[in-house]
Structures are given as structure tokens and as C-alpha cells.
Amino acid sequence: MYYLIVARPSDHSFLVESNSQLPTIPYSGTVTHYLRDVLDQVQMKLKHDLKLNFLRVECWSFEESWQTLIVFEVLGERSTKAPKNCKWVTQSAADKVALVPPSETVREYLKKYKVHGLEVNGERLYSFSGAGWFESASTWIKRNLSDFGEEVESIEKLQHGLGSCVLKVRVRSGTLFYMKCSKRMRWWNEVGVTCALAEVMPETFNKPLAVDMERGWMLMRDYGKTLPYELFETDLDMAKRVTCYWAEVQKKSVSHVQELVERGVAKVDGKALKAAVDQVMENPLWFKAQRERMNEEQLERYTDEVEYKDEYRRYLERLFDKIDGYKVPLAVVNGDVESVNTILRDEKCTFIDMFYTQVSFPFLDVVLLPIQCGYEFNDFDFDFYLEYWKEYESIERLRELLLLIDEVSSVESVISSVDIFEQAEESHREYYYGELKFPVCRTFGVHEE
């Protein structure tokens, strides 16, 4: 179940039911994955065609995980009249709103909303989670598409996730375009990487129609329908087919690595990873999460922070010294090669999500495949992919390297988990703190001499 705040920014008011209760919908899905479904539910609840923009989910907590708050803004001034059985109330009345069923988490949020309105937690919001962003982005889209002679008919938010947002744009001719806003994180700059790949490997990667580097915006053509969300889990042959196509792309990228790095694509090798781990270990969160997870698992081996850091650094030295003994070169690594990010047309794959793309150890892509396909790592046959790299090493040595790169993947997941937590919106920090404890614990303490 979700409580709803439907806010009208023009006069700092929001909707309540006629009995002064905050509206609710009995939705049980993940909001940010199914925005269209959620909007349909809200429209049915309100029995009104208010033009709404999803802003964010608030008030998530372990204790009240079934009681969460969705915040919407009303776009434009299409209606000043409240939907039937509802009324507009001022922001200052937020603490007087009834909650049925009661929720202490939402009640505390409403107290803040009374003072700050849509700016609650404003210092920890993604840009696209704030009021006014959608209309600003819409203006940018319309201006750029007009340069191509296109008149925009509709714009809707299609996806809203961790650090990125996608808008679907339909023009008068019926053609679709997409605008993506992507937040920068450590090594990853999706807009810059997308442009660099299109410049260096234009036969493989598509160039955006327009970009705003500073705001992390890019406007793209519709490249076609992506493969179904869970296809890799139900169709192993298709998963291997897509992975093989990506392996061909990686092989081509080997000769372009230096060009890509010069254009700003991050080079994430052992040196970069060790430096990142040193930086992350200066964050008290690192050891705090490790200790808590070890206690939860009743593992008491590593309780001293200095010992923990020193041994982890020694482990990294051993790991990357071993990897240096193999001749497989660095290549473009996507980090998110899965069905929902893949378009298959005329026997050719187009990859549309470059958020985690970097120049790194090529096997970092394929070590994630067993999870996507519902396998345990040790039960998955990787030889179909390793065949693409046997000019550098024997299949047997490639299998050895694959196991080492699986450890590298765990190292990188620790770094990214800490970064994700630090940049997460306020309402999701508790969740992402819980998430980061798993890779911290899994990575450390399982590797012996």
C-alpha cells in the first residue's frame, strides 16, 4: 500500500480526501519499475485526468515496509478544481492530515512537509526527483527536436531509478524519442561515455541527437524494443547469443582502448581499484558495515580495523599480481549486459545502457551472467565466451583468469555499494546500507593465501 502526496507547486497545496485523509492506493509492485501502472492506479483513485509527474518514493523503512509514500507534482495549470471526493489543502495543514492506517514514519514526514513542502530532503535528492525538473527537461527536449523539424506531442517519465531517469517522447508523426538523465558516479559518466563510444566505434554505437554534459542529459532516437526483462533466466540460448555479440564488440574495442581513455572513458585496472579501495576504507562506513555483517553471520575473525585494512590490502596485491600474469588485454566493459538493455534487430544487438561502462578486465561482464540466468557461478559453462579470447591464452588459463575476475567483480561491488549509499536519496539510505553489507562481508575473509 502507498500513501499519496499529489502536490500543486503553483500554490503549495496538495490533495486530501474529503474526510481529510491522505489518499492511498493498494499497489504492491516496485513503483520505479512500473510507473505507468502506478499512474493508472492514481488516476483511477482520483477519478480525474490531472497531468501528474512522479517525483519520488519517500518514507521507506524496514519496520513499515508496506507503508510507503509516493510524491507527485501536478504539471501546468490544467485544473484548479479538486477531483470528486477530494480537496486541496495548504502545505501548512500537512500535520493535521489523517493517516489510515496510521504510520509514524509518514507522520514524521508530513511534519517536515508542513515546513519544507516538496523540498523535504532536498539536499539528498536526485535532480529528476525535484519539482520543476520535468518541465525544464521538456523544454530542452522540445527545443532540440524542433531543430530536426519535429513537434512534440507528449512526454512521460518511463523509468526512474538509481541515479538515472528516462523520458519517453512522442512526436506528431508518431515517432518515438528518449531522453535520459544520468548522474555521474566515481568512474562512470554515461553521457560522456556514450559520446566517446559513438565517436570511436560509430559502426557499433549510436550517437545521441543532443547532449547537455553539465546536466547529464542526452536525447536519443528510438532504437527499437528491448528484450523481455527476465529473458536470460528463461532462454539460456538467447543469453549466450547476446553475450557472444558483446564479446565481438569487446574484441573490436581492444584496439581503441587508448582513444577511448583519451576521450574520458575511465580505465579501471588493478591500480585504479586499489586506489579506490584505499579511498573507501577511509570512510568509517566501510568497517562499520563489515563488522555488523560479520556479527550477523557470527563470524569473529576480523574485529580490528587496522588488521582488517592491512589484510585486505595484502589480498588485493596478491589478486592483481596473479591477474598480471595473464595476457588478456583490457577492453570496453559494460557492466550491465542484460536483456532489458538489449535490442535485437536483423541479427544485430544494440546496447542502450552505458551507465557502468568503463575500460577494464573484459570478463567483468560475463561473471554476472550466471546470476541473470538463474545459475550458481560454479555450475555455469563459460567456454562459449572464453573461445573469443583463446588467441591470448589457453582455455584452461582463461578459466583460471575468469575465477580471478569474479573476485575483481566483488571488489568493485564493494566500492560501488559504498558510493551508491553515499549518493542515495534520503529515503533509500537505510535500504542501501543494508545492501552494501553483503559485498563488504563477501569480499573480505573468504580469500586465503
CATH classification of the domain holding 396: 3.90.1200
Q: Are residues 248 and 375 in the same domain?
A: yes
Range of the domain at 402: 231-443
The predicted model scores a pTM of 0.89
Q: Are residues 280 and 410 in the same domain?
A: yes
Q: Are residues 320 and 366 in the same domain?
A: yes
Last residue of a domain, one of 120, 145, 164: 120
Q: Are residues 330 and 401 in the same domain?
A: yes
Q: Are residues 116 and 151 in the same domain?
A: no
Last residue of a domain, one of 191, 221, 251: 221
Say if 125 falls within a structural domain. Answer: no
Say if 140 falls within a structural domain. Answer: yes
Say if 126 falls within a structural domain. Answer: no
Q: Tens-of-pLDDT digits for all 449 residues of the chain?
A: 889 999 999 899 999 999 999 999 987 666 766 678 888 888 888 877 788 999 998 987 655 555 689 999 999 765 578 888 899 999 999 999 999 999 988 999 999 999 999 999 888 899 999 999 999 999 999 999 999 999 999 999 998 888 899 999 999 999 999 999 999 989 889 999 999 999 999 999 999 999 999 999 999 999 888 899 889 999 999 999 999 999 999 999 999 999 999 999 999 999 999 999 999 989 888 888 878 877 777 666 656 788 888 888 999 999 999 999 999 999 999 878 888 888 888 778 888 888 889 999 999 999 999 999 999 999 999 999 999 999 999 999 999 999 999 999 989 988 998 898 888 888 888 778 887 877 766 555 444 43
Written as one string, the DSSP assignment of 382-438 is: -HHHHGGGTTTS-HHHHHHHHHHHHHHHHHHHHHHHHHHHHHS-GGGHHHHHHHHHH
Q: Are residues 374 and 303 in the same domain?
A: yes
What's 440's DSSP letter? Answer: H
Say if 154 falls within a structural domain. Answer: yes
User: Cβ distance 359 to 267 under 8 Å?
Assistant: yes
Q: Are residues 88 and 235 in the same domain?
A: no
Say if 448 falls within a structural domain. Answer: no
Q: What is the pLDDT of residues 49-90, one digit of tens each?
A: 788 999 998 987 655 555 689 999 999 765 578 888 899 999
Domain count, the chain: 3
The CATH number linked to 217 is 3.30.200.20
Q: Are residues 279 and 173 in the same domain?
A: no
Q: Are residues 321 and 362 in the same domain?
A: yes
In order of 193, 220, 236, 352, the CA distances from 208 in angstroms are 11, 5, 31, 11
Length of the chain: 449
The CATH number linked to 113 is 3.90.79
Q: Are residues 296 and 366 in the same domain?
A: yes
Q: What is the pLDDT of residues 287-296, one digit of tens each?
A: 888 788 777 7
Q: Are residues 281 and 160 in the same domain?
A: no
In order of 114, 166, 341, 430, the CA distances from 344 in angstroms are 49, 20, 10, 38
Say if 91 falls within a structural domain. Answer: yes
Q: Are residues 173 and 299 in the same domain?
A: no
Q: What is the C-alpha separation between 398 and 218, in angstroms, rounded?
A: 38
Say if 226 falls within a structural domain. Answer: no
Q: What is the C-alpha separation between 80 and 82, in angstroms, rounded?
A: 6
Last residue of a domain, one of 221, 239, 273: 221
Say if 414 falls within a structural domain. Answer: yes
Grid coordinates representing 243? 553475450
Straight-line distance from the first to the last Cα atom of the chain, in angstroms, rounded to the nearest whole number: 50
Asked, as a colleague might, if the bond just before 370 is cis with ω within 30 of 0, I would say no
Q: What is the C-alpha separation between 118 and 129, in angstroms, rounded?
A: 10
